[in-house]
Structure 1
Amino acid sequence: MADGRLADPLEEELEEESAPRLRLSRRGIVVLGAFAAAVLGGLAWLVFYSSVLDVRDVAVQGAGDGRLTADQVREAVGGLADGPLARVDLDQVTRRVEAIPRVAKAEVWRGWPHTLQVKVVQRTAVAAVKGEDGQFTQVDAVGVSFATEAAAPEGVPVVELRLSQQAKDASGVITRTQLVQGAVAVAAALPPEIAKRTGAVLVHSYDAIELQLSGGVTVRWGSPEQNDRKARVLQALMAQKGANFDVSAPEAPAVSG
């Protein structure tokens, strides 16, 4: 201090406490609150109702391979992508896209400021079921049929019913649909390297399913039961030379020819 006295901390604290503070009147608080509400309201209108942040593009990932096009996905989305991006019902868009037969799963999100992002995972055929009309219906690992074409996809086993008379007589007990489902389950269980070699899965009856592999190799599979175990046994068994493999009883497999 100017007179040489030491500053008193208590005196300084009292001086600071006595300093004038800025206080809003009740009217000022009302005005400030109204201003904040107006700003928030304006932002809400801008985001949810104006055309400033409208959807201008639907970007599609996972399509465009010749089997499923981006335009097909956009067509499924349809009018759900009209208007502000913030108001797009993502769940409804997901349901529409997943309704496309080839789509196993869809993921949808907002890509600000103007893009609706759609990512699809396509179904993969584990078998092609040959129909009586000569057409081939593709089926995925969970048994969903999603496409019918004039030819089977390359590298996909063809399921064909060549029923014995006994199997035909038992159609009231085990239907053709059940037989096909069993054969598809067999195809789905095959290791990739064996599936690629499998030209056909022939169904003679429920207990008599046969695989025809490249190189003239035949596999007697038996019933569509213990498929995973039979697949492991067959994979190990094929290290041996032979033209005929039998895994119908996986605890006692056989190789001949």
Structure 2
Amino acid sequence: MADGRSADQPPASGRGHPREEVEFGDEEYSPRLRLSRRGIAVLAALGASVLGGLAWLVFLSSALDVRSVAVQGAQDDRLTVDQVRAAIGTVGAGPLARVDLDAATRRVEAIPRVARAEVWRGWPHTLRVKITQRTAVAAVKGDDGRFTQVDAGGVSFATEDAAPAGVPVVELRLSQQANDAGGVISRPQLVQGAVAVAAGLPAEVRQRAGAVLVHSYDDIQLQLSGGATVRWGSPDQIDRKARVLVALMSQKGTNFDVSAPDAPAVSG
């Protein structure tokens, strides 16, 4: 061309490029959706209606009622699912969303054999319960000949005619001196000390310990299977005495003395 520009170049113009004008105009004049106040009110009412319907469905209707109670953690038939369900009672009835989980937990933990409980919702119809059952570390023989089971925390949770298998029996065989000192150290304190000893025994010793005999606060004795005896002394330094006893039992003997753990002895 005469002005030196190629044929495919657009002519110069102070008005800018035509394509740019079209795109700019599209952005500037694109239509916008505007809701009237009535439209906004209708949408708000619709949303509230939907939320209200969901709330009614979850909290008030029977569509999501509790239909079952699932229990985990029971170790034996002494603590059954039926006992847990009975303890929860009406707290676990009605819509699942409205169940008071804290109240249900307290009711389950009120069962003597339950140490701890967790309760949560298993949608859509299940109330789930996980329990930690108490385990006896000793059975205290009472004056009536019955045996009260005690856990490692010193909590008594069951009394039966026989001691559980493999659990040491705590028995008071107090000396005259110990009876005379009853006003200083009570029988419950003596039992508590003996239970602490039983709870602190290593598993291999506890399984062999048939009895924990209390003659006085400073004179506790273990009777082991096979006829061996252990002079334990007081319920002090339980961990130290337990470690020393395990080491002593690797030696031959029928009498083990850990009452002074820094100077243990084996005889017999």
Instruction: Give TM-score scaled by structure 2 length.
Output: 0.92
Distance in 2, matches of 1:64 and 1:142, equals 19
Quote the residue 2:229 is aligned against: 218
Could you tell me how far apart the structure 2 residues matched to 1:10 and 1:190 are?
92
Decide whether aligned partners of structure 1 residues 8 and 136 sit closer, same or farther in structure 2, where only a CA change above 3 A counts: same
Equivalent residues, number: 255
Q: Is it true that 1:85 corresponds to 2:96 in the alignment?
A: yes
Quickly say closer, same or farther: Cα 1:203–1:11, change in 2 above 3 A: same
Deviation at 1:85, TM superposition (A): 0.2
Secondary structure of 2:97's counterpart equals helix
1:123 alignment partner AA: R
Pairwise CA distance, 1:8: 3.0
Q: Which residue of structure 2 aligns with residue 184 of structure 1?
A: 195
Residues 7 and 170 of structure 1, relative CA distance in 2, 3 Å threshold: farther
1:154 equivalenced with 2:165 (yes/no): yes
Instruction: Give the distance between the partners of 1:189 and 1:92, measured in 2 at CA.
Output: 34
1:175 aligns with 2:186: yes
Letter in 1 for 2:197: V
Equivalent position of 1:50 in the other structure: 61
For residue 120 of structure 2, what is the aligned residue in structure 1?
Answer: 109
- In the alignment, what sits opposite 1:68? 79
Query: How much does 1:218 deviate?
Result: 0.4
Give the match's secondary structure for 2:65. coil
CA drift at 1:119: 1.0
| Aligned counterpart, 2:244 | 233
Matched, 1:137 2:123: no
| Contact 1:128/1:157 (<8 A) preserved | yes
Partner residue of 2:255 out of 241, 244, 254: 244
Tell me how far apart the structure 2 counterparts of residues 124 and 202 of structure 1 sit (CA, whole Å): 21
How far apart are residue 7 of structure 1 and its match? 6.0
The answer for the alignment partner of 1:29 in structure 2 is 40
Deviations 1:66-92 (A, max 9, x none): 110100000000000111000000000
Pairing 1:204–2:215 present: yes
Any idea what the Cα deviations from partners look like across 1:18-68, whole Å, max 9, x if unmatched? 111111111111110111011001100100011110101111112272110
CA deviation map 1:131-166 (0-9, x unaligned): 000000000000000000000000000000000000
The question of whether the paired residues in 2 share the 8 Å contact of 1:64 and 1:70 is answered with: no
Give the percent of matched residue pairs that are identical in Structure 1 and Structure 2. 76
Given that residues 75 and 133 in structure 2 are in contact (C-alpha distance below 8 angstroms), is that contact kept between their aligned partners in structure 1? no
Larger radius of gyration: 2
Quote the Cα distance in structure 2 between the aligned partners of 1:7 and 1:245: 108
Instruction: Tell me the equivalent position of 2:4.
Output: none
> Unpaired segments of 5 or more residues in structure 1?
none
Distance apart, 1:10 and its partner CA: 5.5
List runs of 5+ in structure 2 lacking aligned partners. 1-8, 11-16
Task: Report the more deviating stretch, 149-158 or 24-33.
Answer: 24-33
Counterpart position of 2:136: 125
Picking from 5, 29, 50, the partner of 1:18 is 29
Could you tell me how far apart the structure 2 residues matched to 1:182 and 1:18 are? 90
